């Protein structure tokens, strides 16, 4: 029975919306804080995860050493809570369960926590992914052109 196990599975996991590699800056128009740059990904973990295990997963997930700062439910970016222990993580999860059950916990790792080497490696990885995507796009366009026209277009190798 697939339906019976799905609610249990979602009740046993918690999701983090992880933003990293960017900055929190005020909007020019109204001064309200917003997150700029970097990446945002979703990480689902077992609800009983320890703080240490969570940090290890986040570091593997994001590719560098993490400082975990979280937004309170219904809170804004002006007051982020630093999470540094099992007790603080449990209190954060309890607060999300109380205020907005099932919501994703918004987590940030500020850009300052990156070493220059880690930031450079992360940026190189993103450039590499972008180059690979462009190569695939060129190959796809070439194939589509060939299918529609019967001609082969000349293109330089990227």
C-alpha pair distances (Å), 38 with each of 18, 19, 91, 105, 121 = 10, 7, 27, 18, 14
pLDDT of residue 120: 58
| Residue whose entry in the numeric block shows the structure tokens 């990446």 | 39
pTM: 0.61
Q: Which of 84, 87, 139, 111 is nearest to 22 (CA)?
A: 111
Same domain, 73 and 105: yes
pLDDT range class, residue 133, cuts 50, 70, 90: low
Q: What is the pLDDT of residues 32-44, one digit of tens each?
A: 888 888 888 899 9
Same domain, 24 and 60: yes
Q: What is the pLDDT of residues 79-90, one digit of tens each?
A: 888 999 999 999
Same domain, 47 and 121: no
Same domain, 19 and 47: yes
Do the beta carbons of residue 105 and residue 70 sit within 8 Å? yes
Q: With a cut of 90, say whether residue 93 has pLDDT above it.
A: yes
Same domain, 120 and 62: no
Domain encompassing residue 61: 2-114
Same domain, 133 and 98: no
pLDDT of residue 86: 94
Tally of CB atoms within 10 A around 107: 22
Q: With a cut of 50, say whether residue 114 has pLDDT above it.
A: no
Same domain, 72 and 28: yes
Q: Which of 103, 136, 114 is nearest to 38 (CA)?
A: 114
How far is 129 from 63, CA to CA, in rounded Å? Answer: 14
Q: With a cut of 60, say whether residue 64 has pLDDT above it.
A: yes
* Span 62-90, average pLDDT: 86
Tell me which DSSP letter residue 24 carries: E
pLDDT of residue 79: 85
How many separate domains does the chain show?
2
Q: Report the sign of the C-alpha dihedral through residues 133, 138, 143, 148, in that order.
A: positive
Same domain, 61 and 92: yes
Q: What is the pLDDT of residues 7-31, one digit of tens each?
A: 444 578 999 999 888 888 888 888 8
Same domain, 31 and 55: yes
Same domain, 54 and 74: yes
Question: Domain containing 108 — which CATH number?
Answer: 3.10.20.90
Mean pLDDT of the chain: 75
Tally of CB atoms within 10 A around 34: 12
Q: In the chain, what percentage of residues exceed pLDDT 70?
A: 62
pLDDT of residue 123: 57
Same domain, 105 and 119: no
How far is 110 from 24, CA to CA, in rounded Å? Answer: 8
């Amino acid at each position: 029975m697939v339906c019976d196990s799905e609610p249990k599975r979602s009740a046993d996991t918690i999701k983090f919306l992880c933003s990293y590699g960017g900055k929190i800056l005020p909007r020019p128009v109204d001064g309200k804080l917003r997150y700029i740059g970097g990446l945002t990904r979703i990480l689902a973990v077992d609800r009983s995860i320890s703080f240490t295990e969570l940090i290890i997963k986040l570091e593997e997930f994001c590719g560098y050493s993490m400082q975990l700062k979280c937004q309170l439910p219904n809170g804004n970016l002006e007051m982020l809570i630093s999470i540094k222990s099992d007790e603080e993580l449990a209190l954060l999860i309890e607060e999300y369960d109380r205020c907005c059950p099932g919501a994703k916990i918004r987590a940030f790792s500020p850009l300052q926590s990156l070493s220059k080497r880690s930031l450079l490696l992360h940026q190189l990885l993103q450039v590499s992914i972008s180059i690979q995507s462009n190569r695939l796009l060129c190959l796809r366009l070439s194939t589509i052109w060939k299918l529609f026209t019967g001609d082969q277009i000349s293109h330089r190798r990227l």
